Structure 1
Amino acid sequence: MKSLKSIDIQRASQEDLQMIMSLLKECAQWLKDRNIDQWGFLLGGGEDTEIKSAIERNETYKVTRNEQLVATFTLSIEQTEWDEHIFGKDEVHDSLYIHRLAVRPSFMNKGIGKEIVNWIQANVEHGREYIKLDCVANNIKLNQFYVENGFEYIGEFDNHSKYMKLLHRRKDERNF
C-alpha cells in the first residue's frame, strides 16, 4: 500500500466491487443533480460489466482515507473501444489511459484528485510516455481541473475534450 499526505491507494479486489460501483453511481447522481451531462449511463448499469472486468484485470484502484472509500480510478495500458473512438488507434502503444476517476462528492475540493494524479505519475510501473483521458467537453470545472494538473488539451471529438500528460520517466525505467 502506497500512502500520500491524506490517502491510501491500492488495487481494488472483487470484494471491493459493490463499494466501487456504489461510489461511481453516487458521483453519477451528483453530476445529474447539477445538470452535468456526464456518466448518466452509469445510473442505469451502463458500465457494470466493464467495471467488474477492469477490477478482474487489476486495472481499478480504490482510494481510501482513514479506511473509508473516497475515490476510485481505472488505469489501462490497452486502449478500450472508447479510447480508440476518441483518440484514434494507438499504433505505438505509448499511452496509459485513465477511466472513471471519481471522488466521492463529500470529499471533492480537498485535493484528492490532484493527489491521485501525482500518485499515478510517481508509482505506476507503466513503460508508457503519456497519460491520456477524456471528459465531457461542457464540464467546465473538470476540464479546468485537468489543465490545472498539467494535462495538455489536445482537442475535442464527439463532444469530449481530449487530454494528455507526459509521464516523468525514472532513470532506471526501460521501454517494454
Structure 2
Amino acid sequence: MKIENSTLNDIETIFEFYHAATNYQKSKLVVPWPDFEREMVKTEILENRQWKIIIDGKIACVWATTFSDPQIWEERNEDPAVYIHRIAVNPDFRGQSLVAKIVDWAKQHAKDHNKKFIRMDTVGENIGLISHYSKCGFDFLGLLKLKNTDELPLHYHNATVSLFQIEIK
C-alpha cells in the first residue's frame, strides 16, 4: 500500500468513485453527494491536495485535503488543522479499513505541516458514519447548522453537518 498525490490522469477514476459513493449513499438513505465540479477536482490535483491509496497497483481510495475550511468550521477555522473531504472508496476495496489508513497518514501529514487537528464533516446526522469515524479515532463534536454556504457544494446548502476531530498530541 502506498499513499501519493492524485494526478490529472486519475480524474476519470476519481469521478467513478464519486459516482459509486453517491449510489451507496442513496442506498443507505443518507444525503447523497451532488455532481462535483471537475474544475474543483482539477484544481485540487494541481495544488497537490487530492490524494490516493494504491494497493496492488490499483487505486483503492481517494480524498482531498485543505488547511482552511471557514464556511463549515467558522471560528474554529483559526485553529491549525488539516481538513479531509470526500473520501471515496473503490467498491472493490470496501471493508479494508481505508479510513483508518487515511487517519494514520493524516496524523503525520498534520505534524509535517505544524497542524494540531485533523478534521472532517459529513452532511446530516449519519449514525453509521458517526460510529465508523469514531472507531477510526475521531471525536464526534456534534451537529452544526451551516450559515454561509454559497461557496460550498450543493449538498451543504441549508444543511446541518456532523463535525469530527482528532487532536494531534
C-alpha displacement of 1:47: 3.2
* Aligned 8 A contact 2:122 2:163 in 1: yes
Structure 2 gaps of 5+ residues are 146-159
Residue number among 97, 100, 104 corresponding to 2:86 in the alignment: 100
Deviations 1:102-146 (A, max 9, x none): 212332222122111112213452211001110123322111111
In the alignment, the residues of structure 1 paired with residue 14 and residue 127 of structure 2 have an alpha-carbon distance, to the nearest angstrom, of: 25
How many residue pairs match? The answer is: 154
2:143 to 150, 153, 156: 156
Counterpart of 2:128 in structure 1 is 141
Which ranges of structure 1 fall in alignment gaps of 5 or more residues? Answer: 1-6, 169-176
| Deviation of the 1:54 alpha carbon | 0.9
Alignment partners' CA distance in 1, 2:162 and 2:45: 26
Q: Is 1:20–1:62's contact at 8 Å kept on the other side of the alignment?
A: no
Report the CA distance between 1:49 and its aligned residue.
2.3
Does the residue aligned with 1:38 lie in a helix, a strand or coil? Answer: coil
1:87 Cα deviation from its structure 2 partner: 1.4
1:50 equivalenced with 2:50 (yes/no)? no
**Secondary structure of 2:3's aligned partner:** strand
Tell me which of 111, 120, 124 is aligned to 2:97: 111
3-state DSSP class of the match of 2:78?
Answer: coil
SS of corresponding position for 1:29: helix
- The alpha-carbon deviation at position 27 of structure 1 amounts to 1.2
| Residue identity in the other structure for 1:25 | H
CA contact (8 A) 1:130 1:167 kept: yes
Counterpart CA distance in 2 for 1:123 and 1:52 is 21
More off after superposition, 112-121 vs 89-98: 89-98
Displacement after TM superposition at 1:63 (Å): 1.1
Identity over aligned pairs, percent: 22
Q: Is the 8 A contact 1:98 1:133 kept in 2?
A: yes
1:64 aligns with 2:50: no
Q: Deviations over 1:28-74 (max 9, x none)?
A: 122123322131x12xxx33322121111100101111111110111
Q: Which amino acid aligns with 2:64?
A: T
Structure 2: distance between partners of 1:140 and 1:101 = 17
TM normalised by structure 1 equals 0.79
Which segment drifts farther, 63-72 or 106-115? 106-115
